[in-house]
Protein backbone atom coordinates (compact mmCIF):
# COMPACT_ATOMS: atom_id res chain seq x y z
CA UNK A 1 0.00 0.00 0.00
CA UNK A 2 1.40 3.41 -1.02
CA UNK A 3 1.03 5.78 1.95
CA UNK A 4 2.65 8.77 0.24
CA UNK A 5 0.70 11.98 -0.36
CA UNK A 6 1.08 13.42 -3.85
CA UNK A 7 0.67 16.82 -5.42
CA UNK A 8 -0.81 16.44 -8.89
CA UNK A 9 0.95 19.07 -11.02
CA UNK A 10 -0.21 19.99 -14.53
CA UNK A 11 1.32 22.75 -16.61
CA UNK A 12 1.05 24.29 -20.04
CA UNK A 13 3.57 26.68 -21.52
CA UNK A 14 1.34 29.70 -22.12
CA UNK A 15 -1.38 31.64 -20.36
CA UNK A 16 -3.08 32.50 -23.67
CA UNK A 17 -6.43 30.74 -23.65
CA UNK A 18 -6.60 29.94 -27.37
CA UNK A 19 -3.28 28.02 -27.30
CA UNK A 20 -2.92 24.48 -25.88
CA UNK A 21 -6.52 24.84 -24.69
CA UNK A 22 -6.93 21.07 -24.11
CA UNK A 23 -3.47 20.44 -22.70
CA UNK A 24 -4.34 20.97 -19.03
CA UNK A 25 -7.62 19.08 -19.23
CA UNK A 26 -5.95 16.15 -20.97
CA UNK A 27 -3.12 16.01 -18.42
CA UNK A 28 -5.44 16.12 -15.41
CA UNK A 29 -7.75 13.44 -16.86
CA UNK A 30 -4.85 11.08 -17.58
CA UNK A 31 -3.21 11.72 -14.21
CA UNK A 32 -6.43 11.09 -12.28
CA UNK A 33 -6.88 7.78 -14.08
CA UNK A 34 -3.24 6.84 -13.41
CA UNK A 35 -3.54 7.76 -9.72
CA UNK A 36 -6.67 5.61 -9.38
CA UNK A 37 -4.97 2.71 -11.13
CA UNK A 38 -1.86 2.92 -8.91
CA UNK A 39 -3.76 3.67 -5.71
CA UNK A 40 -2.10 7.04 -5.16
CA UNK A 41 -3.45 9.52 -2.61
CA UNK A 42 -3.75 12.96 -4.23
CA UNK A 43 -3.42 15.72 -1.64
CA UNK A 44 -4.16 18.53 -4.07
CA UNK A 45 -4.28 19.30 -7.79
CA UNK A 46 -2.07 22.21 -8.87
CA UNK A 47 -2.43 23.81 -12.30
CA UNK A 48 0.01 26.36 -13.76
CA UNK A 49 0.03 28.27 -17.03
CA UNK A 50 3.66 29.36 -17.18
CA UNK A 51 6.73 28.39 -19.17
CA UNK A 52 9.29 26.26 -17.35
CA UNK A 53 12.17 27.61 -19.45
CA UNK A 54 13.16 30.04 -16.70
CA UNK A 55 12.76 30.05 -12.93
CA UNK A 56 10.04 31.96 -11.10
CA UNK A 57 6.86 29.89 -11.50
CA UNK A 58 4.80 30.88 -8.43
CA UNK A 59 2.70 27.70 -8.13
CA UNK A 60 5.70 25.42 -8.66
CA UNK A 61 7.75 27.33 -6.07
CA UNK A 62 4.86 27.17 -3.61
CA UNK A 63 4.57 23.42 -4.20
CA UNK A 64 8.29 22.96 -3.45
CA UNK A 65 7.89 25.03 -0.29
CA UNK A 66 4.91 22.97 0.87
CA UNK A 67 6.80 19.72 0.24
CA UNK A 68 9.65 21.05 2.40
CA UNK A 69 7.04 21.81 5.10
CA UNK A 70 5.68 18.26 4.93
CA UNK A 71 2.28 18.95 3.31
CA UNK A 72 3.04 16.17 0.80
CA UNK A 73 5.99 13.93 -0.04
CA UNK A 74 5.29 12.99 -3.65
CA UNK A 75 4.72 14.55 -7.07
CA UNK A 76 2.58 13.30 -9.92
CA UNK A 77 3.05 14.82 -13.39
CA UNK A 78 2.59 13.75 -16.98
CA UNK A 79 6.31 13.96 -17.80
CA UNK A 80 9.48 15.41 -16.19
CA UNK A 81 9.40 18.30 -18.69
CA UNK A 82 6.13 19.44 -17.03
CA UNK A 83 8.08 19.95 -13.80
CA UNK A 84 11.25 21.59 -15.12
CA UNK A 85 12.91 22.77 -18.32
CA UNK A 86 15.73 24.61 -16.57
CA UNK A 87 18.62 23.37 -14.48
CA UNK A 88 17.66 25.27 -11.30
CA UNK A 89 14.14 23.82 -10.87
CA UNK A 90 15.36 20.36 -11.90
CA UNK A 91 18.13 20.61 -9.32
CA UNK A 92 15.61 21.53 -6.61
CA UNK A 93 13.62 18.35 -7.25
CA UNK A 94 16.70 16.10 -7.21
CA UNK A 95 17.94 17.84 -4.06
CA UNK A 96 14.60 17.11 -2.35
CA UNK A 97 14.95 13.45 -3.36
CA UNK A 98 18.47 13.39 -1.89
CA UNK A 99 17.36 15.00 1.37
CA UNK A 100 14.31 12.79 1.84
CA UNK A 101 11.76 15.61 1.75
CA UNK A 102 10.47 14.19 -1.54
CA UNK A 103 9.88 10.47 -1.26
CA UNK A 104 8.52 9.63 -4.70
CA UNK A 105 7.87 10.92 -8.22
CA UNK A 106 5.29 9.36 -10.52
CA UNK A 107 4.86 9.76 -14.29
CA UNK A 108 2.52 7.68 -16.49
CA UNK A 109 5.03 7.48 -19.34
CA UNK A 110 8.38 7.68 -17.50
CA UNK A 111 9.96 5.35 -14.95
CA UNK A 112 11.45 7.02 -11.88
CA UNK A 113 12.35 5.64 -8.48
CA UNK A 114 14.12 7.32 -5.58
CA UNK A 115 17.34 5.41 -6.21
CA UNK A 116 20.71 6.40 -7.63
CA UNK A 117 19.71 4.98 -11.02
CA UNK A 118 16.29 6.63 -10.88
CA UNK A 119 17.78 10.04 -10.06
CA UNK A 120 20.33 9.56 -12.84
CA UNK A 121 17.54 8.90 -15.36
CA UNK A 122 15.56 11.86 -14.02
CA UNK A 123 18.60 14.12 -14.41
CA UNK A 124 18.92 12.97 -18.02
CA UNK A 125 15.22 13.73 -18.62
CA UNK A 126 15.61 17.24 -17.19
CA UNK A 127 18.71 17.75 -19.34
CA UNK A 128 16.84 16.62 -22.45
CA UNK A 129 14.01 19.03 -21.63
CA UNK A 130 16.46 21.93 -21.34
CA UNK A 131 18.22 20.87 -24.54
CA UNK A 132 14.87 20.83 -26.35
CA UNK A 133 14.09 24.39 -25.23
CA UNK A 134 17.58 25.67 -26.13
CA UNK A 135 17.63 24.00 -29.55
CA UNK A 136 14.09 25.23 -30.24
CA UNK A 137 15.20 28.82 -29.59
CA UNK A 138 18.25 28.37 -31.83
CA UNK A 139 16.16 26.85 -34.63
CA UNK A 140 13.62 29.66 -34.32
CA UNK A 141 16.30 32.34 -34.60
CA UNK A 142 17.89 30.53 -37.54
CA UNK A 143 14.51 30.33 -39.25
CA UNK A 144 13.93 34.07 -38.71
CA UNK A 145 17.35 34.90 -40.16
CA UNK A 146 16.62 32.76 -43.22
CA UNK A 147 13.26 34.47 -43.62
CA UNK A 148 14.99 37.87 -43.54
CA UNK A 149 17.45 36.70 -46.22
CA UNK A 150 14.48 35.88 -48.44
CA UNK A 151 13.14 39.39 -47.94
CA UNK A 152 10.23 38.30 -45.73
CA UNK A 153 9.44 40.39 -42.66
CA UNK A 154 9.44 38.13 -39.56
CA UNK A 155 7.10 40.18 -37.40
CA UNK A 156 3.75 41.88 -37.01
CA UNK A 157 2.88 43.93 -40.09
CA UNK A 158 2.63 47.72 -39.58
CA UNK A 159 -0.58 49.66 -40.16
CA UNK A 160 -1.44 49.55 -43.86
CA UNK A 161 -0.46 45.88 -44.13
CA UNK A 162 -1.83 42.61 -42.77
CA UNK A 163 -0.24 39.25 -41.98
CA UNK A 164 -1.72 36.57 -44.26
CA UNK A 165 -1.85 33.46 -42.06
CA UNK A 166 -2.45 31.19 -45.07
CA UNK A 167 0.67 32.13 -47.02
CA UNK A 168 2.61 33.45 -43.97
CA UNK A 169 3.42 36.63 -45.85
CA UNK A 170 2.72 40.34 -45.44
CA UNK A 171 0.15 41.74 -47.88
CA UNK A 172 -1.20 45.24 -48.46
CA UNK A 173 -4.37 46.30 -46.68
CA UNK A 174 -5.89 48.15 -49.64
CA UNK A 175 -8.12 50.49 -47.65
CA UNK A 176 -5.60 51.52 -45.02
CA UNK A 177 -2.63 51.56 -47.38
CA UNK A 178 -4.23 54.36 -49.41
CA UNK A 179 -4.67 56.40 -46.21
CA UNK A 180 -1.03 55.87 -45.22
CA UNK A 181 0.04 56.92 -48.73
CA UNK A 182 -2.09 60.06 -48.42
CA UNK A 183 -0.49 60.83 -45.04
CA UNK A 184 3.01 60.58 -46.56
CA UNK A 185 1.99 62.87 -49.42
CA UNK A 186 0.48 65.44 -47.05
CA UNK A 187 3.55 65.56 -44.83
CA UNK A 188 6.13 65.49 -47.64
CA UNK A 189 4.64 68.72 -49.05
CA UNK A 190 5.69 70.42 -45.79
CA UNK A 191 2.24 71.83 -45.25
CA UNK A 192 0.95 69.54 -42.52
CA UNK A 193 2.02 69.01 -38.93
CA UNK A 194 2.24 65.69 -37.13
CA UNK A 195 -0.99 66.62 -35.32
CA UNK A 196 -2.68 67.16 -38.69
CA UNK A 197 -1.62 63.70 -39.86
CA UNK A 198 -2.91 62.21 -36.59
CA UNK A 199 -6.28 63.96 -37.02
CA UNK A 200 -6.52 62.84 -40.64
CA UNK A 201 -5.88 59.20 -39.74
CA UNK A 202 -8.31 59.39 -36.80
CA UNK A 203 -11.05 60.78 -39.02
CA UNK A 204 -10.31 57.97 -41.48
CA UNK A 205 -10.73 55.29 -38.82
CA UNK A 206 -7.09 54.59 -37.90
CA UNK A 207 -6.63 54.80 -34.14
CA UNK A 208 -4.39 53.34 -31.47
CA UNK A 209 -5.27 50.04 -29.81
CA UNK A 210 -7.21 51.82 -27.06
CA UNK A 211 -9.27 53.73 -29.63
CA UNK A 212 -7.52 57.09 -29.21
CA UNK A 213 -5.78 59.29 -31.75
CA UNK A 214 -2.26 58.21 -32.65
CA UNK A 215 0.32 60.17 -30.67
CA UNK A 216 2.76 62.35 -32.58
CA UNK A 217 5.60 59.95 -31.66
CA UNK A 218 3.66 57.15 -33.30
CA UNK A 219 3.10 59.30 -36.39
CA UNK A 220 6.85 60.00 -36.53
CA UNK A 221 7.53 56.26 -36.32
CA UNK A 222 5.12 55.60 -39.22
CA UNK A 223 6.58 58.35 -41.39
CA UNK A 224 10.14 57.12 -40.78
CA UNK A 225 9.42 53.40 -41.23
CA UNK A 226 11.24 52.10 -44.36
CA UNK A 227 8.68 49.29 -44.58
CA UNK A 228 6.41 51.58 -46.57
CA UNK A 229 8.85 51.92 -49.47
CA UNK A 230 9.68 48.21 -49.64
CA UNK A 231 12.40 47.70 -47.03
CA UNK A 232 12.37 46.80 -43.34
CA UNK A 233 14.52 47.05 -40.24
CA UNK A 234 15.74 43.87 -38.54
CA UNK A 235 18.69 43.34 -36.25
CA UNK A 236 19.72 46.98 -36.51
CA UNK A 237 20.00 46.83 -40.31
CA UNK A 238 17.86 47.73 -43.32
CA UNK A 239 16.85 44.80 -45.53
CA UNK A 240 15.13 44.76 -48.90
CA UNK A 241 11.69 43.19 -48.60
CA UNK A 242 9.48 41.23 -50.95
CA UNK A 243 6.32 43.01 -49.84
CA UNK A 244 4.61 45.59 -52.05
CA UNK A 245 5.61 49.22 -51.32
CA UNK A 246 2.93 51.72 -50.34
CA UNK A 247 4.89 54.88 -51.20
CA UNK A 248 7.75 55.66 -53.55
CA UNK A 249 11.27 56.15 -52.26
CA UNK A 250 11.11 59.74 -53.49
CA UNK A 251 8.09 60.63 -51.33
CA UNK A 252 9.58 58.76 -48.37
CA UNK A 253 12.85 60.74 -48.65
CA UNK A 254 10.92 64.03 -48.83
CA UNK A 255 9.08 63.11 -45.64
CA UNK A 256 12.43 62.39 -43.95
CA UNK A 257 13.73 65.81 -44.98
CA UNK A 258 10.68 67.50 -43.45
CA UNK A 259 11.07 65.46 -40.26
CA UNK A 260 14.70 66.48 -40.06
CA UNK A 261 13.93 70.16 -40.66
CA UNK A 262 11.24 70.23 -37.99
CA UNK A 263 13.23 68.20 -35.50
CA UNK A 264 14.75 69.71 -32.41
CA UNK A 265 17.83 71.76 -33.30
CA UNK A 266 21.13 70.44 -32.05
CA UNK A 267 22.88 73.34 -30.39
CA UNK A 268 26.58 73.53 -30.94
CA UNK A 269 28.56 73.12 -27.77
CA UNK A 270 30.39 76.15 -26.51
CA UNK A 271 33.64 74.24 -26.38
CA UNK A 272 33.44 71.12 -28.56
CA UNK A 273 35.72 68.16 -27.85
CA UNK A 274 38.91 68.29 -29.89
CA UNK A 275 40.65 65.54 -31.84
CA UNK A 276 43.25 64.48 -29.26
CA UNK A 277 41.03 64.63 -26.16
CA UNK A 278 40.93 61.28 -24.41
CA UNK A 279 44.03 60.03 -26.26
CA UNK A 280 46.90 61.90 -24.62
CA UNK A 281 47.95 62.46 -21.02
CA UNK A 282 50.32 64.91 -19.40
CA UNK A 283 53.87 63.61 -19.02
CA UNK A 284 54.44 65.50 -15.75
CA UNK A 285 51.35 64.75 -13.63
CA UNK A 286 49.72 61.93 -15.63
CA UNK A 287 46.36 63.71 -15.99
CA UNK A 288 44.54 63.73 -19.33
CA UNK A 289 44.88 66.70 -21.65
CA UNK A 290 41.98 68.75 -22.91
CA UNK A 291 41.50 71.01 -25.92
CA UNK A 292 40.24 74.57 -25.80
CA UNK A 293 39.02 76.72 -28.66
CA UNK A 294 40.08 80.39 -28.64
CA UNK A 295 39.25 83.34 -30.89
CA UNK A 296 41.51 86.42 -31.09
CA UNK A 297 40.17 89.64 -32.61
CA UNK A 298 42.66 92.31 -33.70
CA UNK A 299 42.01 96.03 -33.82
CA UNK A 300 42.32 95.99 -37.62
CA UNK A 301 39.36 93.58 -37.81
CA UNK A 302 41.29 90.39 -38.42
CA UNK A 303 40.04 87.31 -36.57
CA UNK A 304 42.32 84.40 -35.68
CA UNK A 305 41.11 81.06 -34.40
CA UNK A 306 43.32 78.77 -32.31
CA UNK A 307 43.06 75.42 -30.54
CA UNK A 308 45.21 74.99 -27.43
CA UNK A 309 45.84 71.74 -25.54
CA UNK A 310 46.72 71.70 -21.87
CA UNK A 311 46.64 69.49 -18.79
CA UNK A 312 43.26 69.21 -17.04
CA UNK A 313 45.17 69.97 -13.80
CA UNK A 314 42.93 67.67 -11.78
CA UNK A 315 45.87 66.37 -9.78
CA UNK A 316 46.50 67.70 -6.29
CA UNK A 317 50.07 68.39 -7.40
CA UNK A 318 50.62 71.65 -9.20
CA UNK A 319 51.44 70.87 -12.84
CA UNK A 320 54.15 73.11 -14.37
CA UNK A 321 53.35 72.26 -17.99
CA UNK A 322 52.11 75.20 -20.14
CA UNK A 323 49.56 74.93 -22.92
CA UNK A 324 50.55 73.98 -26.47
CA UNK A 325 49.13 75.00 -29.85
CA UNK A 326 47.48 72.30 -31.94
CA UNK A 327 49.91 72.94 -34.81
CA UNK A 328 52.90 72.24 -32.54
CA UNK A 329 51.23 69.13 -31.13
CA UNK A 330 50.59 67.91 -34.70
CA UNK A 331 54.25 68.40 -35.54
CA UNK A 332 55.45 66.46 -32.48
CA UNK A 333 53.03 63.58 -33.09
CA UNK A 334 53.96 63.42 -36.79
CA UNK A 335 57.66 63.08 -35.92
CA UNK A 336 56.88 60.27 -33.47
CA UNK A 337 54.58 58.39 -35.87
CA UNK A 338 56.93 58.82 -38.83
CA UNK A 339 59.17 55.97 -37.67
CA UNK A 340 56.18 53.60 -37.78
CA UNK A 341 54.90 54.65 -41.22
CA UNK A 342 54.63 52.10 -44.04
CA UNK A 343 56.73 52.26 -47.16
CA UNK A 344 54.98 53.53 -50.32
CA UNK A 345 55.01 50.05 -51.88
191-247 pLDDT, tens digit each: 889 999 999 999 999 998 888 999 999 999 999 999 999 999 988 889 999 999 999
- The pair phi, psi for residue 156, each rounded to 5°, is -75, 130
88-109 pLDDT, tens digit each: 999 999 999 998 889 999 999 8
Write down the H helix ranges in 189-325. 194-203, 216-223, 249-262
17-71 pLDDT, tens digit each: 444 445 788 899 999 999 999 999 999 999 999 888 888 899 999 999 999 999 9
Of all residues in the chain, the percent with pLDDT exceeding 90 is 46
Fold of the domain built from segment(s) 5-135? Rossmann fold (3.40.50)
Quote the pLDDT of residue 266: 56
- Predicted model pTM: 0.50
Mean pLDDT calculated for residue range 318-339: 85
Q: How far is CA 63 from CA 46, 98, 106, 150, 261, in A?
A: 8, 17, 15, 47, 60
161-262 placed in CATH 3.60.21.10: no
Q: How far is CA 244 from CA 169, 196, 231, in A?
A: 11, 26, 10
246-305 pLDDT, tens digit each: 999 999 999 999 999 887 665 555 556 567 777 888 888 888 888 888 888 888 888 888
End-to-end CA distance of the chain: 91
Mean pLDDT calculated for residue range 7-15: 84
Q: Would 5-135 and 161-262 be classified into the same CATH topology?
A: no
Distance CA 74, CA 96 (A): 10
Write down the H helix ranges in the chain. 23-38, 58-68, 80-83, 87-99, 116-149, 174-188, 194-203, 216-223, 249-262, 326-338
Give yes or no for a contact between 326 and 308, defined as CB atoms under 8 angstroms apart. Answer: yes
- How do 237-240 and 231-234 pair as beta strands? antiparallel
Q: Lowest-confidence range among 16-20, 266-270, 314-318, 321-325? A: 16-20
Quote the pLDDT of residue 16: 46
135-191 pLDDT, tens digit each: 888 888 888 888 888 999 998 999 999 999 888 899 999 999 999 999 999 999 988
Local structure of 164: helix, strand or coil: strand
Quote the pLDDT of residue 18: 44
Q: Which contacts (CB < 8 Å, 24+ apart) does range 111-120 have?
A: 112/80, 119/94
Domain boundaries, the chain: 5-135, 161-262, 267-345
Amino acid sequence: MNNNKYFLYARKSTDVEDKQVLSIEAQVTELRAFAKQEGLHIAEELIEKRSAKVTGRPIFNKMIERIENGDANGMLAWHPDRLARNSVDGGKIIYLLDGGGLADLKFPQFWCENTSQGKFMLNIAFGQSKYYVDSLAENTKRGLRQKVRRGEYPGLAPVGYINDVRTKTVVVDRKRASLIRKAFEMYSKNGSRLEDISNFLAQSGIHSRNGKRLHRDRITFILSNPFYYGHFRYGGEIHEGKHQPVVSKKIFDKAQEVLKQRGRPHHKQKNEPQAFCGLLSCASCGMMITGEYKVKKQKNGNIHEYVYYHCTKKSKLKCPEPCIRQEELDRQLSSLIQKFSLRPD
